[in-house]
Structures are given as structure tokens and as C-alpha cells.
């Protein structure tokens, strides 16, 4: 099968590599920024364009990868679906729940498969935690604490700093953990969020969510784009029989100064394992396309994750809990 990459920034490059590792061919790379399209196309011997529509409507394209800023996802997903292409769309699925719903409808209407890249469901350490929970190691889970973040990402034209486009750390980054909590513990009931969204003198975004799940579990989720550099992930689940935890950065006291090692592009969390979680999500997507199994992430999961993150942003704005 042949692939069109729409958006040739950090994640477009990542998905082109994963698609090729799965034996697919990248035939066209599209980006508003022609230089980005040219550079990626050159790497894979593909065509390049600064116009997405002709790229996603090509007869030789079977799969369209959407790795553009979040507000562009709905229009691109719907355009690709109308051309009868299967779609791999980066998370967040769309900027709004209404856009997620209309995109799901268009994909269904045109009979195409739509996958949302909630890659944390494929990270091996998160899978190890989930396996321990399923095996009953912690007994009845009561409290989950997840933490994710690092330096403020630097996307093309600084789009991450525009909350209307990215939704900040809460919608763009914490959404991974909100999705994982729902994946593992079921539906949320109520969400409360406090967020520091400072743009002067430094751009800092720090968001703290507390959530009650319908199961009774309480979750605390922290997302930060306020560190001088790096990326850090933590997870802890406590239950009636014990605790399971993971910390990507278990080190003694450290300090660092802002400006040293600042982010270039988005920081994509690294994984010490041999098989990238980004490859695992591609294998899952392709297994679904080939009719071998159902995917671990459905478009409805993508929609629910956007709904949770949107509720968190509303809570931060209104300073009141939001019932889901
Ligand atoms: N799963 C993950 O780990 C992960 C990590 C980072 C980002 N993301 C998501 O991936 C998506 C892309 O983020 P990124 O970090 O690659 O951003 P980026 O800024 O590095 O790249 C985005 C590219 O899209 C191009 N673009 C913008 N509008 C376009 C349009 N309408 N048509 C074609 N090209 C267009 C830009 O010129 C840019 O080159 C976002 O939705 C982001 O939330 C996911």
C-alpha cells in the first residue's frame, strides 16, 4: 500500500519512517511549507507539494497520514475520507468534539478506516502497568497519578503557543494520559482542572487535573510545558493490595537554567525498548486494514479523549468542576 504524508514536521517524519518500516511506500509528501515537503519527499523518493488536496486524492494513494496542527485535522480527515482513503490521524483527533463527530460520520459514510494516534496505549511501560493491573497485582485500584511533560514544544510557526490551535498542554499533551486512564479504568464522571497558561515573560503551561471515574477511582494528572528542557513521564497506581509505578526520570535532585537545551520542534518521548511504540501503533493500524483484528484505538476513543481534555479546559476557565 502507498502512503501520502500530510504535514512533514516532527510527526510527519516519524510516521513516514514507521510506514516504510512496515513495508509501505511513501509516494507523496505535502506541507504548506514547501521546504519541509521537499526534504521529506527527497528522503523517500516521493513527490512533494505544498497543496494537500491533490496529494490525498491521488489514485496511487491508499493511506493518508495527517500530521498537521490540530485545527486542520477535521477538514483533512474529511477530505481524505471523501477520496476513499484510509486515514492515520495524529492525536488530538480534532480541536472540538463536534469536529470529531462529523469526521467519524464522513469516514463511516465513505467506508474508510480511521485511526487516531494515541500512541501511549502502545508504550511498553504503560502496557506493563496495565498487565499488572489486569493480573490483580494492586487489587482494587483506588488512585492513579500520571505525569507528563517537559519543555514547551516549538512547532512550525510556533503553533503550539496559540491556544486556539493547540489547546496548550492540556489538550495536546495531557490528552495521552486522559485517554490512557479511560482505556484502563473506564468512563470519567467529573473533572476539575487548574492551569497556568502564562505567555509573559516566559511561555509556561502547567496543568493539573483531578478526575473521578464512574468506577470510583480518583485520578490526578499533571501536564507540563514549563520545564527548561527534556521530557518526563510518571505513573503510579495504588490499590487495595499494593502499588505499581514507573518513573522515566528516577534521578537524585537536579536543577537547570532556562535556555540551556531548549526544545527544537516537539519532544517525542523516547523509549528504551527495541520496538518503537510508534511502530506498534502502525502494525495495529495495518492489522486492522488487512482485516486481522480490531484496532486498540477507535475513532470514538479519539473523540472521548478530546471531550475529556475540552472539559478540563472549560473547568480551568470557569474554575469549577465539569460533569462529563
Ligand atoms: N503522538 C505523539 O507523540 C505526538 C507528538 C507531537 C505532536 N503530535 C501531534 O502531531 C500533530 C503535528 O505535530 P508536529 O509536532 O509534527 O508539528 P510540526 O509543527 O512539527 O509539523 C506540522 C507541519 O504541518 C504543516 N502544516 C500546517 N498546516 C498544514 C496544512 N493545512 N496542510 C499541510 N501541511 C500543513 C506545517 O508547515 C508543519 O511542517 C499535532 O496534532 C500534534 O498534536 C503527536
CA 85 / ligand 1 centre spacing (Å): 20
CA 37 / ligand 1 centre spacing (Å): 12
Task: Give 298 or 256, the one with higher predicted confidence.
Answer: 298
- pLDDT for 255 equals 56
- State the chain's mean pLDDT as an integer: 93
CA-to-CA distance for 16 and 26, rounded, in angstroms? Answer: 7
Q: Which atom of ligand 1 is nearest to the CA of 37?
A: 39
CA 252 / ligand 1 centre spacing (Å): 34
Locate cell 522515566: which residue? Answer: 248
CB 167 less than 6 A from any atom of ligand 1: no
C-alpha cell at 280: 506498534
CA 72 / ligand 1 centre spacing (Å): 9
- The residue contributing the CA closest to ligand 1 atom 20 is 9
Q: Which atom of ligand 1 is nearest to the CA of 119?
A: 1
- DSSP-assigned beta bridge partners for residue 66: 6, 89
Which of 7, 79, 148 to probe ligand 1 with, by most ligand atoms within 8 A of CB? 7
Select from 76, 150, 151, 148 the least CA-distant residue to 309: 148
For the domain spanning 121-279+304-323, the CATH number is 3.30.360.10
- Cβ distance 138 to 244 under 8 Å? yes
- pLDDT for 274 equals 73
pLDDT(106) > 70: yes
Select from 76, 31, 38, 32 the least CA-distant residue to 57: 76
Task: Return the minimum-mean-pLDDT range out of 122-126, 131-135, 268-272.
Answer: 268-272
Q: Assign 268 a pLDDT band (cuts: 50, 70, 90).
A: low
- The residue contributing the CA closest to ligand 1 atom 25 is 7
Overall average pLDDT of the 309-322 stretch: 98
Q: Assign 251 a pLDDT band (cuts: 50, 70, 90).
A: low
Q: Which atom of ligand 1 is nearest to the CA of 14?
A: 16
pLDDT(252) > 80: no
- pLDDT for 37 equals 98
Q: Assign 275 a pLDDT band (cuts: 50, 70, 90).
A: confident
- pLDDT for 142 equals 97
2-117 domain in CATH 3.40.1800.10?
no
Q: Assign 248 a pLDDT band (cuts: 50, 70, 90).
A: confident
Write out pLDDT tens, residues 50-104.
999 999 999 999 999 999 999 999 999 999 999 999 999 999 999 999 999 999 9
Overall average pLDDT of the 243-250 stretch: 87
Cβ neighbours for 269, distance < 8 A, ≥ 6 positions apart: 123, 148, 231, 233, 248
Which of 155, 263, 269, 302 to probe ligand 1 with, by most ligand atoms within 8 A of CB? 155
- The residue contributing the CA closest to ligand 1 atom 41 is 70
- The residue contributing the CA closest to ligand 1 atom 3 is 268
Task: Return the minimum-mean-pLDDT range out of 62-71, 163-172, 202-211, 260-269.
Answer: 260-269
Task: Give 322 or 257, the one with higher predicted confidence.
Answer: 322
- The residue contributing the CA closest to ligand 1 atom 11 is 67
CA 47 / ligand 1 centre spacing (Å): 19
Write out pLDDT tens, residues 15-34.
999 999 999 999 999 999 99
In 92-129, which positions are buried (b, 16+ CB within 10 angstroms) versus exposed (e)?
bbbbbbebbbebbebbeeeebbbbbbbbbbbbebbeeb
Domain boundaries, the chain: 2-117, 121-279+304-323
Amino acid at each position: 500500500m502507498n502512503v501520502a504524508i500530510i504535514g512533514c514536521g516532527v510527526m510527519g517524519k516519524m510516521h513516514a519512517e514507521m510506514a516504510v518500516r512496515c513495508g509501505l511506500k511513501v509516494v507523496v509528501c505535502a506541507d504548506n511549507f514547501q521546504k519541509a515537503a521537499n526534504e521529506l519527499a527527497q528522503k523517500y523518493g516521493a513527490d512533494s507539494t505544498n497543496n494537500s488536496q491533490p496529494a490525498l486524492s491521488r489514485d496511487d494513494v491508499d493511506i493518508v497520514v495527517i500530521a498537521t496542527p490540530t485545527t486542520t485535522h477535521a477538514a483533512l480527515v474529511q477530505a481524505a475520507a471523501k477520496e476513499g482513503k484510509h486515514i492515520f490521524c495524529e492525536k488530538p483527533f480534532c480541536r472540538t468534539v463536534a469536529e470529531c463527530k462529523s469526521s467519524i460520520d464522513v469516514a463511516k459514510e465513505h467506508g474508510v478506516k480511521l485511526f487516531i494516534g494515541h500512541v501511549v496505549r502502545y508504550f511498553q511501560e504503560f502496557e506493563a502497568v496495565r498487565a499488572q493491573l489486569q493480573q490483580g497485582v494492586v487489587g482494587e485500584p483506588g488512585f492513579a497519578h500520571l505525569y507528563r511533560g517537559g519543555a514547551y514544544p516549538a512547532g512550525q510557526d510556533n503553533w503550539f503557543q496559540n491556544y486556539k490551535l493547540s489547546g496548550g498542554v492540556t489538550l495536546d499533551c495531557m490528552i495521552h494520559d486522559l485517554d490512557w486512564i479511560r482505556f484502563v479504568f473506564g468512563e470519567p464522571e467529573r473533572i476539575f482542572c487548574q492551569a497556568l497558561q502564562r505567555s509573559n515573560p516566559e511561555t509556561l503551561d502547567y496543568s493539573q487535573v483531578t478526575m473521578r471515574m464512574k468506577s470510583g477511582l480518583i485520578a490526578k494528572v499533571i501536564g507540563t510545558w514549563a520545564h527548561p528542557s527534556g521530557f518526563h513521564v510518571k505513573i503510579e497506581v495504588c490499590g487495595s493490595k499494593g502499588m505499581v509505578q514507573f518513573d522515566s526520570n528516577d534521578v537524585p535532585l537536579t536543577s537547570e537554567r532556562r535556555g540551556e537545551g531548549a526544545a527544537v520542534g516537539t519532544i517525542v518521548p523516547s523509549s528504551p525498548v527495541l520496538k518503537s511504540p510508534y511502530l506498534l501503533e502502525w502494525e495495529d493500524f495495518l492489522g486492522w486494514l488487512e482485516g486481522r483484528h480490531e484496532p486498540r484505538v477507535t475513532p470514538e476513543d479519539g473523540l472521548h479523549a478530546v471531550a475529556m481534555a475540552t472539559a478540563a479546559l472549560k473547568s480551568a476557565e470557569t474554575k469549577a468542576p465539569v460533569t462529563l
